[in-house]
Structure 1
Amino acid sequence: MSAESASSSTAPPPPPVQGPTRRFTGRDNRGGRSVILRQPGGYSAEILFYGAQVVSWKNEHKQELLFLSKQAIYKPPQSVRGGIPFCFPKYGFARIRLWGIENLKHDTAFPPPTPDNAYADFLLNLTPDKFPDWPDHRLELRLRVILGPTGDLTMTTRIKNVNTNGEPFTFKFAYHTYFSVSNIRLTRIEGLQTLDYRDYVEGVDNNQFTEEADAITFKDRVDRVYMNTPDEIRIRDLELRRVITIHKDAGLPDIAVWNPWEFDASIIDDLGDEEYKEMVCVQAAAMENEITLNPNEEWTATQRLSAEEYSDMI
């Protein structure tokens, strides 16, 4: 036997090819049970069963891209301050309910996931006795969360009216996303120039304006809803040289932008007094015009988040 053949016969087997993974945590996890999605490149995301709320999304450097308050309360009926609360029918009950895991692989509203995706499907199947605000309605809420091979985070929601009494219902909706930033004063929101918006800062009389700036910057409290927005909006962190892009479909025509600034942060119990400097909410939403569903009608909406670093060099 030659040295070459002897060497090849005793060589260790190649390491197994790693793919995307999904792992469930226990009830003693922060916030209760959750699903953790991972990609071989280092990307990850964590979604709580409580509210089907994404509470972590990390890039290939394992840097957190979502803001989660150090004072967040993980106790029903309190919603968790940070991540991506699921706001339905406006800021209502969906984000303070315990969702179940569901297999939506054969649901035609959700395209089949590809083998290189890590994903989890959630279901909130509500009957009238479970939500006193809507005593006569039945509905299904379904959510798929996908972590792609390059770290993109995609959320697709389907809401269906399953009333048997023939009644329609109306609602508003938002992916109430809290993004982590290095410094709110060095953060820009791009893609909203020339658009009409409503300003909800207290004391504003005529609250509809047109955005004249090339980008939204922050020097005080901001609470606005921009209408008829484009499909892509960017959050640019000038200090970290990082851009996060919100890609959204026509089901989410609005973008809400919020930062509480110093005074409001000081009176929010589950937000640290200085934490407003580290976060900005940019929400893909359907808020200005309510959506109406008749029995057996359904509504879907998708948001995809991507992150990349950039250089000032040309």
Structure 2
Amino acid sequence: MSDALPGSLRQYADRHGLDVASLQAALDWQVLFWSGEQQAADQERWRHWLNANADHRHAWEAVARMAGTLGTLSPQVAHRTLKQPAAVSRRRVLGALAVAGLGSMLMFAGTGGGLWQRAMADYRCARGEQQRVRLEDGSSLILNTASAVSVDFGNSRRRITLAPESEIALDTRPSALDDTGPLALALPAALLSVQNTWLTARDLGQGAGTVGVLAGRAQLVTAYPRQAAVTLNAGQQAHFDRDGLSVTPLSRQRALAWTRGVLQADRWRLADFLDELSRYRDGVLYCDDEVADLIVSGAYPLKDTDYVLESLARALPVAIHYRTPWLVRVGAV
């Protein structure tokens, strides 16, 4: 169990307040269980390690989320479910889990409250799906992949709340015909007041988010006291996190690409492109460090992510390796 911790995973540990050594150990345990190489005494050794301190437990919970539901199964059941040969490459699984953790954490990223919000949401869609909704006030709402929202309309109150790591497009202009007043749009770390507005909003997790205004205007207040409220006009977008808030010109075509089922990239790093593409497919998608900085541009159909991967292999010096349908590595030719 001597594989070095990838740099991307080390950054993930830092951002999530995890002890690096504990995260490395947790990954080693998960890889051992998946490999089928475990001995009878390993389960007891794992329990002893897990209960030794809180850092170990927090790291194991993170790895279990990366691994999805397999993290809750016994090693024997997990191994049968994966249907992998006994000699699984530990380096490959470490890399896969690393990039999965930096991406969407297999849809279960964020706080435990995020899981509760998704379960109780009025509208939600699964990974790779989108949902279009006409709200009772006439507003139109589009949910992107793995997103969920709760809607609270009543007693002169209109409020929409995004679950963590959700993305929507919202058009309240139809509701303006009834003079219904402002609508509150709540993100995990921000609150917007909108009226007669068309916008997109995405929670990026860890207190960050983006808002783009396509028509009308929106007032944005973040959860960070040092950041003043800002008014966003049509053609502007805001990105905010704990370190600050910035307002830049909005690319209308890029902001609406996902609503048309398109992933549009403009000179993205391959690693960043795959991270975004992984939001639209089940399983783990990652690339080797040696191809991570290759540049990707173009418009790609989100309905067929396997076709997108084939397109990358034709356009770039990379090969697509399917360990299983849900575990895919992009490496050099």
Q: Same fold (TM over 0.5)?
A: no
Q: TM-score range by the shorter chain?
A: under 0.3
Q: Larger % of strand: which?
A: 1
Greater RCO structure (CA 8 Å; 6+ sep): 1
Normalised TM-score (structure 2): 0.25
